[in-house]
Every structure is written in C-alpha cells, then in structure tokens.
Amino acid sequence: MASGPRPNPLSAARAAVGLGFCAALAGAALALDHPVAILGVIVAIVAVGSLAGRARLLARTALFSLPLAITVGLVNALTSRQGDTVVARLGSLPVIGRLDITAESLSYSGVLILRVEAIVLAAALFSACVDADALLRLLRRRSSRFGLSVGLAARLAPLLARDGKRMAAARRTLAPSVAAPRSAIVEALATGALDRAVDTAAALELRGLGDGPCLAPAEKRRWSRHDRAMALSASVIAILSAVSLAAGWSLFSVGSTIRAADGLAPWIVAALIPLIAVSPMLDRRGVAR
C-alpha cells in the first residue's frame, strides 16, 4: 500500500471481518454466472473502494489485470467445445483438434473476463483497506513460520514497487543514449527480488519472528458497530449468492445453446449486491482515530 486508505468502516472493522467481507464479494463473483449479476459485484467493489478513497488504485488494478482476464477468455474461446453457432474456423492442431470459435463460447469468455476482474478487484480491495498487520497477527497465532512467509510476501510487494519507481525515476534522469529500456528495469527488479526477499526475511528473523512456537496473544476486544455491520453485510451477500445459485436467479450456462435466467431476477441480484455492500460503509461514526 503506497499510503493508507481514507478512514472508513471496512478498515475500522477487525481484519477477520474485512477478510470475510472481501471473500464474500469474491465468492459472489464465483457463484453468480449471469454477466449482469457479476457486473453488480464489480459495481459493489468499486463503490466500496471509492467510499474508502481507493478508487484510483482499483482502476489501476483493473487495468493491469485486464491482459490476464482477456488471456483467460481467449483460451476458453479457443478450447471450448460448446456451442453450435460457429463464428470462425481456425483450422485444427494435432493434439487440441479443431479450433472452431462459437458465439456461445465467446459469450462465456465474456463472463470469465468479468469474473477474473471481479476476483482481482476484491483482492485489491482487501489489500488496500484491511489491516495487513492484524491479519498477519492472526496467522502467526496459527503458525510462526507461516506468519513469516506471509509477512515476507506482504512486505516484498511494496518494496519492489518502490524500487521500480526509483529505477524509473533514475532512468528519466539519463540521456536517451544511456537510458536502459524499460524491460531492463523489469529484469533488474525480477533478479533483485531475491535479494530483497532475503533482506526482508532477515529483518523478520531479527524481530524474532519464526523463533520457536508462536505465542502472540489473542486479541480480546468487543465487536464494534463496524465489525457487526460489515459481518452482517458479508453474510447477506454470501446467502444471496448461495440462494441465487440454488434458485437459478443468475443462471448463465453454455451447452449447444446459451441458457440464461430470464426476467428481472439477475437484475435484482445485480442491484441488491451493491446496496448490501455499500450500506455499512455509509455509517462513518468512529471510523477515524
């Protein structure tokens, strides 16, 4: 995290609740199939992130993750055997067989792209707004070494981001004839990651993490209004996703043809999820210390 989020109920809630809230949103993206419902999940994440002052970070994350999402969609379109409406014939490959692209597989690729984006955004919301220190504390209670590994991974990302920024700044001060290409910076960052990881692991060891069994004291504090509200919101989102899945309210399946839930059901689900996610974020009492 380059800088902290604006004080908000999600950050004020305990780490386990924050984790549960973000997991419920990611779970909804996995459980719901209808693109309109998944779009509803994305709207919910962006709205919560915006209220926490992290809209720009989420937008950047969405942009960076787009190539990954499109790759997943393309692979699905090329390898899927479902659908009767062929829109392109790309020949055949020895092991894979025929590479026919159908309108049905393309539609499902769109769903997959939305789903990947929603899950990445839920993870970004978690890393931007939930207290990583408190979560690390939770994990250390389970296993000291696991805590060390998670601490290392959590610390490494911002360190490498900072190194990359400084290398880019240094590059900008050089004359074009001596400035290394951007790819050299990426390569230097990748090769330097091991050194950084060793430094960070050394710092964690020097702080005593990983020294024998973990005995971090359990946190004993009463549930705050934000803990309760965020947990309730997460629970309702999880229940709504499960019920939608069971009742077929957000059905979108591809066989020889596309079968999608008709009527208002997917639209209602898409509208409800942002409302349920955002409602606890509107109570800003006591969010700032």
Partner 1 sequence: MSNLLSISGFSYRHPEASSPSLRDVNIEIEAGEFVLLTGPSGSGKSTLIRAACGLAPAFDGGTAAGELHVGGLSARDFGPGEIARCCGTVLQDPERQVVMTTVRAELALPLESRGLSATAVARTVEETALLLGLGELLDRNVSQLSGGELQRVSLGAALGPRPPLLLLDEPVSQLDPVAADDLGWLLRRLNEELGVAVLVAEQRLERLLPAADRVIALIEGRVACDASPVEFLEWAASTAPALQTPIGEMFHAAGLPAPPPTLKAARAELSRRGLLNGGTKPNQSAEPVGASSKSGSRWRRSKAEPAAIEFKSIWDERSNGRTILEGVSLRVEPGEAIAVMGRNGAGKSTLLAHGAGIRKPTRGSISSLGRVALLLQDPSYYLVRDRVGDLGPAEMLEAAGLANLADRHPRDLSGGERQRLALALVAESPDGQLPAALLLDEPTTGLDPARRKALADRLDQFRDGGCAIIVATHDAEFAAEVCSRVVLLGEGRVLADAPVREVLAGGWHFATETARVLDGLGGALLPDEGAALLRVESNREVRQ
Q: By rule CB under 8 A, what string of x and - marks binding of each residue 72-111 to partner 1?
A: ----------------------------------------
Q: What DSSP letter does each residue of 7-26 carry, written as one string?
A: S-HHHHS-HHHHHHHHHHHH
194 lies in the site for partner 1, by CB under 8 A: no
Q: Cα angle vertex 82, ends 79, 85, to 5°?
A: 110
The CA radius of gyration of the chain, in Å to the nearest whole number, is 23
The answer to whether residue 3 forms part of the interface with partner 1 (CB under 8 A) is yes
Output the CA–CA distances (angstroms, integers) from residue 134 to 12, 16, 66, 211, in the order listed. Answer: 11, 8, 30, 19
- The whole-angstrom separation of Cα 253 and Cα 33 is 8
Figure out which of the listed residues 211, 239, 255, 256 binds partner 1, where binding follows CB under 8 A.
211
Tokens of 37: 């419902």
Among 19, 45, 214, 281, binds partner 1 (CB under 8 A): 214
Span 170-189, contacts to partner 1 by CB under 8 A:
170-175, 177-178, 180, 184-185, 187-188
Q: Is 209 in the site for partner 1 (CB under 8 A)?
A: yes
Residue 159 CB, shortest distance to partner 1, in Å, is 8
Q: Please say which residue, 81 or 220, places its beta carbon nearer to partner 1.
A: 220
User: In three state form, how does the secondary structure of 195-220 look?
Assistant: HHHHHHHHHHHHCCCCCCCCCCCCCC
d(CA 112, CA 124): 18
User: Exactly one of 64, 205, 239, 256 binds partner 1 (CB under 8 A); which one?
Assistant: 205
Q: What is the rounded distance in angstroms from the CA atom of residue 20 to the CA atom of residue 126?
A: 10
190 contacts partner 1 (rule: CB under 8 A)? no
Considering only CA atoms, which of 107, 68, 54, 65 is closest in space to residue 256?
107
Does 219 engage in binding with partner 1 (CB under 8 A)?
A: yes
Q: Is residue 169 at the binding interface for partner 1, with CB under 8 A as the rule?
A: yes
Tell whether residue 163 is a contact of partner 1 (CB under 8 A). Answer: yes
Least distance CB 165 / partner 1 (angstroms): 10
Q: Which stretch in 8-16, 73-81, 135-143, 263-271 sits in contact with partner 1 by CB under 8 A? A: 135-143
Q: How far is CA 229 from CA 24, 138, 168, in A?
A: 14, 21, 43
What residues line the site for partner 1 (CB under 8 A)?
1-4, 131-134, 136-137, 140, 144, 151, 155, 158-159, 162-163, 166-167, 169-175, 177-178, 180, 184-185, 187-188, 191, 196, 198-212, 214-220, 289
